[in-house]
Amino acid sequence: MSEVRLKKGESVDKALRRLKKKLDREGTLREVRARRTYESPAERRRRKAKTPKINYWGSFSLS
């Protein structure tokens, strides 16, 4: 669970901005959005196959 504590004299808006950045870096929101609906195993395999992969020399390939 992510946590952000208010610093002395810090506004709530700044603390919220820090929290949003932290959640974005950790990928928490992306994961929550992805789990919002059911994804069948076939759909999961299809999605994983679509993601680009980096080969040994650093270039991308879709296979």
Q: Where does the pLDDT of residue 63 fall: very low under 50, low under 70, confident under 90, or very high at 90 and above?
A: low
Block residue for tokens 């929550």: 32
Q: Which helix (H) or strand (E) holds 60?
A: strand 60-61
Residue 11's CB: how many other CB atoms inside 10 A? Answer: 10
Encode pLDDT of 20-44 as tens digits: 999 999 988 888 888 888 989 999 8
Contact 43, 37 (CB under 8 A): no
Q: Where does the pLDDT of residue 58 fall: very low under 50, low under 70, confident under 90, or very high at 90 and above?
A: low
